[in-house]
């Protein structure tokens, strides 16, 4: 198997044009990339939302890094 620097494109515009099939080829690659990045972002977002929810206790106090920051409903928590 030989993989050398034997590129088949003589210019970037040729690469971009994909022999006239640019819409189909770049559409496919683009949508795939978009979907995978979006999924990774959604996974991260879901985790962050859960962490925020779990760190907010019943009094509305958000515990962050061991300290308690008080929201409006919080009356019993220790102030930092």
Partner 1 sequence: MTAMNVRIGTWFKYASPQYFYGLAGQLWPWFAALSAVLMGVGLWVGLLVAPTDAQQGQAYRIIFVHVPTSQMSMLIYVVMAAWAALGLAFNTRLSGMMASALAPTGAMFTLLSLVTGSLWGKPMWGAWWVWDARLTSELILLFLYLGFMALQSSIDDPRRADKACAVLALVGVVNVPIIYFSVVWWNTLHQGASVSLSKAPSMAAPMLWGMVVMVLAFWMYAVAVALARVRTIILERERHADWVQHALE
Residues found near partner 1 in the complex (CB under 8 A): 1, 3-4, 6-9, 15, 18-21, 23-25, 27-29, 31-32, 35-36, 39-40, 43-44, 46-47, 50-51, 54-55, 63, 65-66
Minimum separation from the CB atom of position 51 to partner 1 (A): 7
Residue matched to tokens 């795939």: 32
Minimum separation from the CB atom of position 48 to partner 1 (A): 9
Residue 47: φ, ψ to 5° = -65, -45
Burial of 74 from C-beta contacts in 10 A (0-12 / 13-18 / 19+): middle
């Amino acid at each position: 198997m030989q993989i050398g620097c034997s590129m088949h494109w003589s210019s970037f515009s040729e690469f971009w044009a994909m022999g006239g099939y640019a819409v189909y080829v770049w559409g496919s690659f683009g949508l795939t990339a978009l979907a995978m990045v979006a999924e990774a972002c959604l996974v991260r977002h879901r985790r962050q939302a859960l962490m925020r929810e779990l760190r907010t206790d019943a009094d509305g106090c958000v515990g962050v890094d061991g300290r308690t920051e008080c929201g409006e409903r919080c009356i019993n928590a220790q102030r930092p």
